[in-house]
Amino acid sequence: MVMMFYFMFLCGLWVFSSKRKHLLVTLLSLEFIVLTLFILLYYYLMMMTGELYMTMFFLSFAVCEGALGLSILVSMIRTHGNDFFNSFGLLQC
């Protein structure tokens, strides 16, 4: 069962590292990786200690990461009109 979650994590890394055109696909793959890591952390903590305080910290950081990604996406759409990576220069200020 744990091997399935490792496979899910590797699939998320593959989608994140492959060249994509849209920022939204990249953000969704990051959230998929975070969800898989949360499931693995929860499974590990349930088997070893039973204390689940660490999962609350992990989820709060995951929510902050998601909100930051969405704010970057919204600001990019407002300034450039779309979320294509090739529609703006990365070296411009």
User: What share of the chain has pLDDT > 90, as a percent?
Assistant: 54
Reported pTM = 0.84
Q: What is the pLDDT of residues 73-88, one digit of tens each?
A: 898 888 888 888 777 6
H-assigned helices in 1-93 = 2-17, 23-48, 53-80
For 92, the token pair is 């411009």
Amino acid, res. 43: Y
CATH number for the segment(s) 11-81: 1.10.287.3510
DSSP 21: S
Q: How far apart are CA 62 and CA 72, in angstroms?
A: 15
